[in-house]
Amino acid sequence: MRNLWFALVTGALLCFGGTLTASAAGNVTLLDSADALTDEEYDICKAGLLQAAGYTGMDFGVTIGSPDLPEGAAEETARIQFEQEFGDTDGVYVFLDAREENPQHAIYVNGLAKLYYTDTADCRLNEFFTDMESFLSPSADMAGAIGMLTVNLEYFYSVGMAEDVYVYLPETGLYYYSEDDKLLNTDAPPEDAVISTGDAAVSIEVQTEPEPEQDMSALQGTGNAVLYDEAGRLSSTEYDACLAYLQDAADATGMNVAMVLGKERRSEYTIESLADASYDELFGPNTDGLLYYMDLSGASEPYDYISTCGMGQMYYTNADDNNRIDAIFDDVFPFLYPAGSEDIEGAVEEFAEQVVYYYEAGVPNRYYVYDDVYDEYYYVEDGKLQTSYSKPYISIEAVVTMAFGGLIIGFIAALITFFAVKAHYKFKSALSPTTYVNRRNLVFHQQYDRFIREYTTRVKIESSSGGGSRGGGGGHSSGGHGGGGRHR
């Protein structure tokens, strides 16, 4: 399993680093022959690969397939597909096996890309699969795996070419290697260097036994706390105090509570993906809790993000009309001004207090969450998290809308009936009331009607009931994680 440091570092989309000679944007291929991606997921994955190709100047390809491959055939498949799609260029091709039983996944690297994505003692390709493994476990999240792949492609390029390795290119007859982060070549193998072949892709077999379902109620009182100070902003004493705040919140709620003080400048998408992946790495998927990623990179508009999981999605809501995540930011952000002089300990303490406050407030009435990846709804029944493929509650707004629509339709039907009847019985000429009056015996009596002028005052009576949430509505989730972010 990936450690938190690697999960954080591999998420960095740095602006500088690496010296690959190719400067033009690379080409990209994404083939989903297993139909494992939705249209939206395909577009997102393709955009991620294009971004990595533009950043590195290399060619990147991914095939998601489910053929009945013999043992070790995935490695050869990745190599052949790279040659068919790109020829003899610098780049990487990944084959992802969509089969549920004994899937085989492989990576093939070609050209000078072997200096960045090595298969030697410093085997960076193993790091690729280590980082993707949680996404490839059944049921496989191919979109998540490709997202992590693109993050690693950019990260290892930003790290630069590996030292003490070389690549031989037959077309030039030269040996290429890195020295002081510069690309050099020679007609003889460099001394004390190991060849990075890339000819044999790295493959792994993922265990297919599903994880046992967890009883959400059993997680109460088992919350853990983690604080990762990537930015190095806390002294030893401050770190211990902040971790104690988070642990107090975890003990009071039974939730897993984590905070990451981020140092690197990262995109919104990277921060969100990194927060979700880091939570799963620390506590496991489908557990109850939340992770706060605090951006301390020094960016002009830092982006903070809170990732929620399990019952954490139900207590720390992100619905448009019930957004507790946003309310937490409202209370924490005053401690984070001005940039560079943030009161981090105060912010951590305030965050921990908000975690307890909203837990004690309870899950809002009739609240549910829709997960757009699994196409499921989450809601709480008898204190446990439940799932459904249909919306669990009918909103009051929907009932009012249907009732109002019914009234309008009924009114229109009544009008049509009225005018139809009126037209059917309409007289040719209008009658006068005097037609039936005997004018000889007609006498008028003078009468007066007196009215007393009245004044009416209307006063709106406010309800005396207070507290609680009006409930209803739905939040959003993706791949088992909810949450929300905001710029400071």
485 CB-near residues (< 8 Å, 6+ apart): 268, 271, 272, 303, 304, 305, 306
Judge if 44 and 76 occupy the same domain: yes
Judge if 200 and 250 occupy the same domain: no
Judge if 185 and 315 occupy the same domain: no
Residue 426 is assigned to a structural domain of this protein: no
Task: Say whether pLDDT at 139 is over 50.
Answer: yes
**Angle between helices 344-361 and 324-332 in degrees, nearest 10:** 150
Judge if 169 and 28 occupy the same domain: yes
Residue 165 is assigned to a structural domain of this protein: yes
**Angle between helices 142-159 and 39-56 in degrees, nearest 10:** 10
Strands of the 384-388 sheet, one edge to the other? 384-388, 376-381, 368-371, 474-477
The answer to whether the beta carbons of residues 387 and 377 sit under 8 Å apart is yes
Please tell me whether residue 227 adopts helix, strand or coil conformation.
Answer: strand
The answer to whether the beta carbons of residues 276 and 307 sit under 8 Å apart is yes
**Can you give the pLDDT at residue 467?**
37
Judge if 262 and 375 occupy the same domain: yes
- Give residue-wise pLDDT tens across range 429-463: 455 455 545 544 545 444 444 443 343 333 333 33
**Can you give the pLDDT at residue 46?**
92
Specify the number of domains making up the chain.
Answer: 2
Residue 350 is assigned to a structural domain of this protein: yes
Instruction: Give the percent of the chain with pLDDT over 70.
Output: 73
Last residue of a domain, one of 177, 205, 233: 205
**Domain extent for 376:** 221-392+472-487
The CA-based angle 114-80-103, given to 5 degrees, is 90
Task: Say whether pLDDT at 422 is over 50.
Answer: yes
Judge if 175 and 257 occupy the same domain: no
CATH code for the domain of 89: 3.10.310.50
Judge if 198 and 277 occupy the same domain: no
Strands of the 303-309 sheet, one edge to the other? 225-228, 256-262, 289-295, 303-309, 481-487
Judge if 232 and 199 occupy the same domain: no
CA proximity to 368, closest of 308, 309, 326, 314:
314
Judge if 14 and 125 occupy the same domain: yes
The answer to whether the beta carbons of residues 263 and 297 sit under 8 Å apart is yes
CA atoms within 13 A on the CB side of 69: 26
83 CB-near residues (< 8 Å, 6+ apart): none
> What value does the mean pLDDT take over residues 276-294?
91
Find the DSSP H helices in 199-343.
Answer: 236-253, 268-283, 312-315, 324-332
> What value does the mean pLDDT take over residues 266-274?
89
